[in-house]
Amino acid sequence: MEEIPSGPLTLSGYLARPLRSDGEVLRDPRPAVVICHGLPAAPGGAVTAGRSYHVLADRIAVEMGWSALVLNYRGCGLSEGNFSLLGWVEDVRAAVEHVSARTRTRGIWVAGFGTGGAVAIRAAADTGAVAGAVSAGAPADFDEWAANAERLLRHAHETGIVRSDSFPADFETWRGQFVSFSTADASDRLAPRPLMVVHGSDDELVPSLDARAIADAHGAADLRIISGGGHRLRYDPRCISLVLGWLDRHGHDMVPETTTTPD
């Protein structure tokens, strides 16, 4: 299990790395991806958040020869802290720095599902260290969360992503993060770096129009609408096949850059 510093907090993560036939880690520069899970939905779900993505990370390492880090944001898994949307963006940027320090890279990508897709795009737009991004089932904005912030906070306590009864110290500031967060605006800032946007045509939580808004804002995004697909695209093999194929193509297209020697 990885320990990832993010400001004063220590986050947890799962890092899968490509191995040689003798079990040693491959040392030549290779692409890497930070995988961003969505908002836990079930009561107590923060404890197991991201675990199902470990299999995906292992698959990326074995089949593609990439390093893959599954991040637990603040408030999730073994990570310290409490949920805030901009805090999660900061955590993704910290994870990118961690991967750069822990692996020999020639390009770091971010890929997120649901809320994680929006967070991934925003983090990628905020740092030039990210080569490109993938989002699946991401909302174009969080206006609904802002309008129902008290209910969202209750949900956050129920799932365990907010663990402190005294959090947030300023409710309106915490709520204001949802008002100011626009995935579409971040997509615009991410351009011209590549972006893939995947969405289910039958997503029961986020309408597919959000995917079109995100893709249109970028201007050159690869938009894929999966016929009959729902919100939990992590479990749709068509989505995973599209995402891995897109990452693999773009990773091979990259010119090797200056690398960082692992500890």
Structural domain contains residue 263:
no
Q: Look at strands 130-136 and 105-113 and give their pairing.
A: parallel
Question: What range does the domain containing 152 cover?
Answer: 2-253
Structural domain contains residue 101:
yes
Q: Domain count of the chain?
A: 1
- pLDDT tens per residue across span 19-60: 776 677 777 788 999 999 999 998 899 999 999 999 999 999
Write the CATH number for 72: 3.40.50.1820
Query: Does the model's pTM come out above 0.85?
Result: yes
- pLDDT tens per residue across span 196-244: 999 999 999 999 999 999 999 999 999 999 999 999 999 999 999 999 9
Structural domain contains residue 262:
no
Structural domain contains residue 261:
no
Where would I find the beta strands (DSSP E) of the chain?
2-6, 9-16, 30-36, 67-72, 105-113, 130-136, 195-200, 222-226
Structural domain contains residue 260:
no
